[in-house]
Amino acid sequence: MWKIAVLLVIALVAAWVAFVNKRPRVAALLVFILGAGMSWLVYSSQIDGSRPFRLGLDLSGGTQLTYRAKIDAIQGSTVADSMTSLRDTIERRVNLFGVSEPIVQTKHGGTFAGQSEERLIVELPGVTDTQKAITLIGQTPVLEFRLLKKDATPPPSGQPLSNANEIFEPASITGRHLTSAQIQFNQSPGGIPNEPVVALNFNSEGGKIFAELTKQNVGRYFGIFLDGVPISTPVIQESIPDGTAIISGNFTAVGAKELARNLSFGALPVPIELIGAQTVSGTLGAEAVARGISAGLWGIGLVGLFMIFWYRLPGVVSVVALSLYVVAILALFKLIPVTLTAAGIAAFILSIGMAVDANILIFERTREELENGKNSAEAIHDGFSRAWPSIRDSNISSMITAVILFWFGTSLIKGFALVFGLGVLVSMLTAISVSRTFLMALGVDARGKFAHFLFGSGTRA
């Protein structure tokens, strides 16, 4: 598909070169071929399923899960980093199960039980089995390394603790510092021979923290927590500078292998608690898509009829340019790709009306130049030149708005802003290039009576 896209770009460049060299008919032919190529690209990729449109949760159906992150054991300065790592870990986890275009985001949810609350929102398009979705998230273990406080007694391993925060310091290293985990068999002196253990490898940040922590706390107990349970509480015998830790906890070979696999998939840096689950029906999504398509067709049809009725021959040209605009936008949706939501479809429909705004400015300016006695070529050239500053300023202000919405908005607003911004940019390009190319290619002298009528507007001849 990318090869075809490259060919289309070459055709666009060739069309521009032909226009610059004052060969508008050659340029118009190349633009027409370009439009036909994009149409075939969109249609064929949709029919054979090689690159279908990506639909968001509200259109394709699926599940939305809301979790509360338990940050009481996390140092305040690292909460933001831990939440970012949590989001990335969950995203990797759900991708492993083939979920298409999951949306994972963090959100500050005010306060809960007197503490600041952080939330994780997971949207899984196409997954309508809520329990399955919960399982996808819940299978990932939470890994924490916490020093035992100096005046505390080491607890027994493998038992849940109700007072973990009272006898253990906040987590120094969490799953966000982990890069990999492998099963090994213990060969170290003093251990159980051939006991299955799990070797953990930390990233550069985690390795430095672990090396410094073990160097400064020789002789102290170090709790290794998995899902809130201390599975091992060894004594730090010496500094460990190589960024590797060993988890032992009377594992079976199968249990150690499963633990290593789950940790490699992504150990959660922060414990999470499910507080809400919502299932979106695929039937409702299909209805929204059908209504969106219907609204788009009505919008294109009514705008096209108005332009032809009011601006006559230039109106016909604007309809051709509008058709190419729609095809170009749909092709971009597939190539980028853009995940379409109901808000995105609304932005697309809105951009259809805005796509002809530049044409209206151009046609009105061109008509004024014709009334001043200029021939068609001069009137079209000057009409575009005089309309360009207004087109440029209005479209730039719209794109600035789209950027602000995308930068600060939620995922729903981001989808609207992205489609809206793309629509404004492409509509500006089609107005200043496609419409002018086709008008110049017609070569009609508007000084004749019938031709003057064709270039008129509204009720005026």
Q: In whole angstroms, what is the distance from residue 340 CA to residue 329 CA?
A: 12
Which stretch, 143-157, 236-250, 268-282, 390-404, has highest mean pLDDT? 390-404
Q: With contact defined as beta carbons under 8 Å apart, do 120 and 99 qualify?
A: no
**Packing angle, helices 342-355 and 357-371, rounded to 10:** 0
Please give the CATH superfamily to which domain 2-57+281-454 belongs.
Multidrug efflux transporter AcrB transmembrane domain (1.20.1640.10)
Q: With contact defined as beta carbons under 8 Å apart, do 50 and 42 qualify?
A: no
pLDDT score, position 455: 66
pLDDT score, position 115: 58
pLDDT, tens only, 22-63 = 677 777 777 777 778 778 878 888 787 777 777 777 777 788
pLDDT score, position 391: 85
Instruction: Identify each DSSP E strand in 267-357 by its residue range.
Output: 272-280, 339-340
Q: Judge whether residue 189 has pLDDT over 80.
A: no
Least confident segment among 108-122, 247-261, 361-375, 389-403: 108-122
Architecture per CATH, 62-279: 2-Layer Sandwich (3.30)
More confident residue, 356 or 449: 356
Q: Judge whether residue 452 has pLDDT over 70.
A: no
More confident residue, 212 or 336: 212
Q: In whole angstroms, what is the distance from residue 143 CA to residue 266 CA?
A: 10
pLDDT score, position 263: 66
pLDDT, tens only, 276-287 = 888 777 655 677
Q: What is the mean pLDDT of residues 197-201?
A: 84
pLDDT score, position 400: 92
Q: With contact defined as beta carbons under 8 Å apart, do 405 and 416 qualify?
A: yes
For residue 107, which of 75, 138, 83 has the smallest C-alpha distance? 83
pLDDT score, position 43: 81
In this structure, is the dihedral angle defined by the CA atoms of residues 205, 210, 215 and 217, taken in order, positive or negative? Answer: positive
Domain residues of the chain, as ranges?
2-57+281-454, 62-279
Q: In whole angstroms, what is the distance from residue 388 CA to residue 383 CA?
A: 8
- pLDDT classification of 268: cutoffs 50, 70, 90: confident
- pLDDT classification of 9: cutoffs 50, 70, 90: low
pLDDT, tens only, 375-423 = 777 888 888 888 888 888 888 898 899 899 888 876 668 778 888 988 8
Q: Judge whether residue 262 has pLDDT over 70.
A: no
For residue 124, which of 156, 150, 157, 96 has the smallest C-alpha distance? 96
Q: Judge whether residue 112 has pLDDT over 70.
A: no
Beta bridge partners of 105: 121
pLDDT score, position 459: 57
In this structure, is the dihedral angle defined by the CA atoms of residues 93, 99, 100 and 105, taken in order, positive or negative? Answer: negative
* Amino acid at residue number 436: R
Least confident segment among 65-69, 110-114, 342-346, 439-443: 110-114
Bond prior to 125 in cis (omega within 30° of 0): no
Q: Which conformational region is residue 276 in: left (phi greater than 0), alpha (psi within -120 to 50 degrees), or beta?
A: beta
Entry pTM: 0.60
Q: Establish whether domains 2-57+281-454 and 62-279 are of one fold.
A: no
Q: Specify the length of the chain in residues.
A: 461
Q: What is the mean pLDDT of residues 296-311?
A: 84
Q: Judge whether residue 362 has pLDDT over 70.
A: yes
> Residue 26: helix, strand or coil by DSSP?
helix
